[in-house]
């Protein structure tokens, strides 16, 4: 079945029709949970209308859809959908997927990536998506799809980023992946603590696409993924890494930078304050494995001391 037809049951979901569409699919029933999601659906519906009007005349938007949204899925997810879901009491996952180049069976040129949210309602995983429009060439409204429906946009290709945000809006985990020349998937960065993170620049796979990973106190890691060819050889992969910190607490204009090359893997995790220290003196541990196998570990305190 063509994607444009397969998506019809999952388009234009709102607070009026959600239970009619999916009530029998729910494994458990919590009326308070359903009520919170119906409130979120109303907000999502209003947000979709706002975004359609906002971006309708923007010449920079690609894959435009008359009366709908072009390819602005990352903006939708990071700036709108995630906040609406979490403030209504839902933990959510952000998924960013790189889609296969050959999508000719779907009948038209499609975006090469797609980003969307997943939440759990009634013990069932649902995709929540404001920007299916470029894939079906119409305004699909708010799309809500059971993950088990196995829609190609949510299952084909490979996942290059996933992130978990709790109902308080805190980032609790994240991972970045890349696919090598033989189709194997590698984890290049993962972590469990960050104040802010965006993938907007990441998918370009160029040295202009460094993503900020921000921590308490103003320290920021800029990282990315580069893929390039030298003299027609096999592709070469590189993970740029730069740590930028204020030189003094509260100082934004004076910073120092630490750049590390030949990075193979980065692990970021929170280390709680040791016994006897003030609880607020927790640390961010950044462990880096180089392509040579050497390992570097940095301890970044909440007062910006680096060791």
Q: 70-103: per-residue pLDDT in tens?
A: 999 999 999 999 999 999 999 999 999 988 755 5
User: For 222-246, what is the mean pLDDT?
Assistant: 80
Number of other residues whose CB lies within 10 A of the CB of residue 234: 10
Q: What pLDDT does residue 269 have?
A: 93
Structure-model confidence comparison of residues 6 and 203, the more confident one: 6
pLDDT at 202: 60
pLDDT band at residue 232 using 50, 70 and 90 as cut-offs: low
* Per-residue confidence (pLDDT) for residue 300, from 0 to 100: 83
pLDDT of residue 277: 55
| pLDDT above 60 (res 298) | yes
pTM over 0.95: no
Q: Is pLDDT larger for residue 232 or for residue 93? A: 93
Q: Can you state the percent helix, strand and coil of the chain, rounding each to 5? A: 25, 35, 40
Cross-strand partners of 115: 96
- Per-residue pLDDT, 207: 47
**Model confidence pLDDT, tens digit, residues 260-293:** 988 999 999 988 765 555 555 568 999 999 989 9
In this prediction, residues 111-117 reach a mean pLDDT of 92
36 Cβ neighbours under 8 A, 6+ residues apart:
88, 89, 90
Confidence of residue 203 (pLDDT cuts 50, 70, 90): low
Amino acid 267: pLDDT: 95
- pLDDT value of residue 108: 57
Task: Look at residue 178 in the predicted model and tell me its pLDDT.
Answer: 86
The torsion angles phi and psi of 43, rounded to 5 degrees, stand at -65, -40
Does the pLDDT value for residue 190 go beyond 80?
yes
- pLDDT, one tens digit per residue, over 130-184 is 999 999 999 999 999 999 998 999 998 889 999 999 999 999 999 999 888 788 8
Most confident range (mean pLDDT) of 99-108, 158-167, 249-258 is: 158-167
User: What's the confidence (pLDDT) of residue 149?
Assistant: 94
DSSP codes, 133-171: HHHHTS---SEEEEGGG--GGGTSSEEEEEEEE-TTS-E
Question: What does the pLDDT average to over 63-76?
Answer: 93
More confident residue, 58 or 77: 77
Strands 124-129, 143-146: pairing is antiparallel
């Amino acid at each position: 079945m063509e994607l444009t037809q397969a998506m019809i049951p999952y388009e234009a979901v709102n607070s009026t029709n959600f239970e009619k569409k999916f009530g029998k699919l729910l494994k458990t029933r919590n009326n308070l949970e359903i009520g919170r999601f119906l409130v979120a659906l109303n907000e999502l519906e209003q947000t979709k209308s706002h975004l359609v009007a906002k971006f309708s005349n923007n010449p920079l938007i690609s894959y435009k859809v008359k009366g709908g949204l072009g390819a602005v899925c990352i903006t939708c997810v990071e700036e709108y959908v995630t906040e609406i879901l979490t403030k209504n009491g839902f933990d959510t996952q952000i998924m960013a997927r790189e889609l296969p180049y050959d999508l000719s069976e779907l009948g038209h040129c499609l975006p090469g990536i797609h980003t969307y949210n997943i939440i759990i309602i009634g013990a069932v995983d649902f995709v929540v998506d404001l920007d299916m429009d470029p894939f079906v060439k119409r305004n699909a409204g708010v799309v809500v799809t059971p993950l088990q429906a196995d829609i190609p946009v949510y299952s084909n290709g490979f996942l290059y980023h996933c992130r978990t945000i709790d109902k308080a809006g805190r980032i609790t985990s994240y991972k970045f992946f890349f696919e090598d020349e033989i189709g194997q998937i590698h984890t290049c960065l993962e972590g469990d603590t960050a104040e802010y993170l965006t993938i907007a620049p990441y998918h370009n796979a160029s040295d202009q696409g460094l993503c900020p990973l921000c921590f308490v106190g103003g320290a920021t890691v800029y990282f990315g993924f580069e893929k390039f060819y030298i003299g027609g050889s096999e592709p070469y992969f590189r993970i740029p890494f730069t740590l930028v910190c204020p030189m003094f607490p509260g100082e934004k204009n004076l910073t120092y930078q630490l750049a590390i090359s030949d990075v193979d893997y980065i692990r970021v995790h929170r280390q709680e304050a040791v016994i006897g220290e003030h609880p607020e003196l927790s640390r961010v541990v950044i462990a880096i494995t180089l392509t040579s196998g050497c390992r570097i570990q940095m301890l970044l305190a909440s007062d910006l001391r680096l060791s």
